[in-house]
Amino acid sequence: MNPVASQAPHRSLGLTDAEYELICEKLGREPNPLELAVFSLMWSEHCGYKHSRKLLKLLPTEGPHVVMGPGENAGAVDVGDGLAIAFKVESHNHPSAVEPFQGAATGVGGILRDVFAIGARPIAILDSLRFGELDTARSRYLLDHAVAGIGHYGNSIGVATVGGEIYFEGPYEQNCLVNAMCLGLAPKDKMIRSAAAGVGNVIVLMGALTGRDGIGGASVLASAELDEDEDKRPTVQIGDPFEEKKLLESSLELLDRGLLTSLQDLGAAGLTSSSSEMASKGEVGIEIDIDQVPLREADMEPFEVMISESQERMLCVVEPERLDEVFTVCSKWDVRATAIGTVTDTRRLRVLADGEVVGDMPVEALVDDCPVYDLDPVEPSEPVYPAPAAKLDGRESPGDLLLALLASPNIASKRWAFEQYDWIVGSRTTRRPEEAEAAILMLELDGASGAIAVSIDGNGRRVACDPYTGAVEAVLECARNLACVGAEPLGLTNCLNFGNPEKPHIAWQLTRAVEGLRDACLAVEAPVVGGNVSLYNEGGGGPIYPTPVVGMVGKLPDPTMVPWSGFREPGHAIALVGPFEPSLAGSELEKLAGTLSTELPAIDVDRHAAALVAIRDAVRSGVVATAHDVSEGGLACAVAECAIAAGIGARVDLGEDFALFGEGPGGVLLAASPEAIEKLAEPLQPHGFRVIGRTGGDRVDIKAGVATLSVPVAAAQEAHGGSLPSRFE
């Protein structure tokens, strides 16, 4: 390789030689430094989706409840009474691996802006987190500071953090995952799109000052493998939730008063991506005068202003005659608002500084002509991931195994984390985290009927075992959590966290996972309304587990009928419902034993979808006291978790050999009075219904053929509740 050519500016910005030549062709000349920086960001993986765009077309995006689908800042579904729920999940993985507090905090800030950018008031946050094993100091540091960052931003801005998940696996040691999901509520007829419109209209920048923090941050960090030896700390954005709160309120008032033509969040790539995407969607041009952008640092170069990822900023289009009204509203909320440009008919992004044109690029070239690559998927012939370290010696009794699983960080209570979050602010949350299988948010506060339920799920280890089946399971897990509270799925968002897609085995993982998501979404009738792709999550330690994270929103008629996830009274009958066929493949017990399977049992998605409808109807009948899905740790852990919640034991007899700790989709535990369970038997019988025990006592007793276990509820509570806090003592 020519050492001089290897130092070419476009290569240092992540562009290939072929891409650089294409840029020259589109411009009809070589780009200047500002234009090259702009193209490098717009054609990055994070902004351009160049390795995933074709694949994402496989996902179903239409449905009777869809109001806004992919392509907008957030998707939205109709929840009746003239209201819509906007929601989206996004990643902030690489920044969080570099600086976990600010990386996680600004991840929350960014997803909030995506939601209120379409005119919806944020009402809830969920998070999906992945770290290395907790026996390493690095993983404990990342977890501690990421959780603190999420709590800081959400608590300060006053949006409830109502749910989430945390997993710990070796492949996330160098590349943690921080995925944040937000839900917002809006009048359906007042939501706004981001397309710029109206030649001669004014481009207004609202919010915080523009500085060097975040330059090349999310867009660059998320478009290449993370080099742990390189100091990337200056590229992590710095968040200010109090500034965002003012920006939120001013944006919603401006929209409510009809003063804006369009609105766009400034996220990855800052002014570059927001202006380009607004112009592309509106089929117009935009001209920006850099000299008008309020700066935190006076000596910033024009290219720095264009690519800064400083937080708490929005870009809007305003008719000239309404400009003063916009400034008045922003002043009321103490929000900085500055006219920095105009909408043109040129279909070009033009950047001016000192009265001179310093950048002139076709919008179509920046956005629509971003190269899109075909993946080259090849199923690996050898294991991609090493087996996890064994934590068991093989001599444990079934009772010992149950306690070990309950104390495993993947299954143990996450109370240590969620108690750092305000889950009740806004007065919509009906249950605290871990009290129901999905978060429940009331709609009555806005004059609407019923409530919404939301869940976020994924299991990277199971997807590593079998990308297709593991992705199907993630969708079914979300839908099952919604069924356990009586909610009907309305729509789905996802965040696809994978390694380097240019490697054939990673391309295979990504392709098979998306195919699994497609088939499962079709089966449960949950269209994909938006999401995010995070690739290149790997470094010297290899790739992360392939981790599609799924967030699903549903509607339920009466939040007062939602069952609890724990047992409520002694003497209740316990039933197991659903097409549950347990297997140790990909299970938490298999991990503790130090092995990793290469496939999972096949799933009949239509059978599972039908069972979910029946379970949802049973819950809506109002007679079910407890509904708890069987997930990590299998049936034994599910029974124990129900007992732990209220200190009520159970006696279960499965009457046959049964993989007590086997996992797989489909299983739901229902508990209610014997009379109520008897009434549910007939409608649930076609879906795998059987009564397996009774609640009561102070022990968890389970018999399955020759296998038996008996564990005091108090011991189970100690193992389950004390595991995470003990790591930080």
- Rounded distance, CA 252 to CA 249, Å? 5
Residue 77 has pLDDT above 80, yes or no: yes
Which of the four pLDDT bands, split at 50, 70 and 90, describes residue 702?
very high
What lies within 8 Å, CB to CB, of 560 at 6+ separation is: none
Please report which residue ranges of 237-382 form alpha helices under DSSP H: 241-256, 270-282, 302-307, 323-332, 363-366
Q: Which residue has the tokens 């600010």?
A: 102
Least Cα distance to 203 among 306, 339, 322 occurs for: 339
Q: Is residue 171 part of a domain?
A: no
- Cβ–Cβ < 8 Å for 355, 220: no
- Cβ–Cβ < 8 Å for 50, 372: yes
Q: Is residue 405 part of a domain?
A: no
- Cβ–Cβ < 8 Å for 122, 153: no
Residue 220 has pLDDT above 70, yes or no: no
- Find the length of the chain: 729
- Residue 687 is a catalytic residue: no
Q: How many CB atoms lie within 10 A of CB 245?
A: 17
DSSP string, 556-616: ES-GGGPPBSS--STT-EEEEES----BSTT-HHHHHHT---S------HHHHHHHHHHHH
Residue 225 has pLDDT above 90, yes or no: no
Residue 663 has pLDDT above 60, yes or no: yes
Q: Would you state the pLDDT for residue 215?
A: 75
Q: Is residue 539 part of a domain?
A: no
* CATH assignment of the domain containing 223: 3.90.650.10
Which of the four pLDDT bands, split at 50, 70 and 90, describes residue 231?
very low
Q: List, edge to edge, every strand of the sheet that includes 83-91.
A: 66-68, 75-80, 83-91, 177-187, 121-131, 160-168
- Rounded distance, CA 643 to CA 718, Å? 12
Q: Which is catalytic among the residues 10, 51, 65, 92?
A: 92
Q: Is residue 34 part of a domain?
A: yes
- Rounded distance, CA 79 to CA 450, Å? 9
- Rounded distance, CA 525 to CA 326, Å? 41
pLDDT digit string, tens, across residues 538-572 = 988 899 999 999 999 999 999 999 999 999 999 99
pLDDT digit string, tens, across residues 92-102 = 999 999 999 99
Q: Which is catalytic among the residues 46, 65, 145, 720?
A: 46
Task: Identify residue 22 by its one-letter amino acid code.
Answer: L
**Which pair of structure tokens corresponds to residue 476?**
């079914």
What lies within 8 Å, CB to CB, of 518 at 6+ separation is: 58, 59, 60
Least Cα distance to 633 among 477, 456, 401 occurs for: 401
Which of the four pLDDT bands, split at 50, 70 and 90, describes residue 705?
confident
What are the distances in angstroms from CA 449 to CA 29, 443, 483? 59, 6, 19
Which of the four pLDDT bands, split at 50, 70 and 90, describes residue 218?
very low
Q: Is residue 466 part of a domain?
A: no
Q: Is residue 728 part of a domain?
A: no
Tally of domains within the chain: 1
Residue 614 has pLDDT above 90, yes or no: yes
Q: Is residue 617 part of a domain?
A: no
pLDDT > 90: percent of the chain: 88
pLDDT digit string, tens, across residues 616-662 = 999 999 999 999 999 999 999 999 999 999 999 999 999 887 889 99
- Residue 46 is a catalytic residue: yes
Q: Would you state the pLDDT for residue 706?
A: 87
Residue 216 has pLDDT above 90, yes or no: no
Three-class secondary structure of residue 327 per DSSP: helix
Q: Is 254 exposed, middle or buried (0-12, 13-18, 19+ CB in 10 A)?
A: buried
Q: How many CB atoms lie within 10 A of CB 671?
A: 28
Instruction: Identify the H or E element spanning 128.
Output: strand 121-131
Three-class secondary structure of residue 236 per DSSP: coil
Which residue range(s) make up the domain with 229?
Answer: 14-43+197-370
pLDDT digit string, tens, across residues 338-366 = 999 999 999 999 999 999 999 999 999 99
Residue 508 has pLDDT above 90, yes or no: yes
Q: Would you state the pLDDT for residue 585?
A: 96
Kindly report which listed range (22-26, 222-226, 304-308) carries the lowest average pLDDT score: 222-226
Mean pLDDT over each residue of the chain, to the nearest integer: 93
Q: Would you state the pLDDT for residue 57?
A: 95
Q: Is residue 211 part of a domain?
A: yes
Q: Would you state the pLDDT for residue 232?
A: 44
Q: Would you state the pLDDT for residue 448?
A: 87
pLDDT digit string, tens, across residues 151-171 = 999 999 999 999 999 999 999
Residue 514 has pLDDT above 60, yes or no: yes
- Rounded distance, CA 196 to CA 293, Å? 19
- Rounded distance, CA 656 to CA 110, Å? 51
- Rounded distance, CA 52 to CA 65, Å? 26
Residue 4 has pLDDT above 60, yes or no: no
Q: Work out the average pLDDT over 259-275.
A: 93
Task: Identify residue 135 by its one-letter amino acid code.
Answer: D
- Rounded distance, CA 167 to CA 609, Å? 26
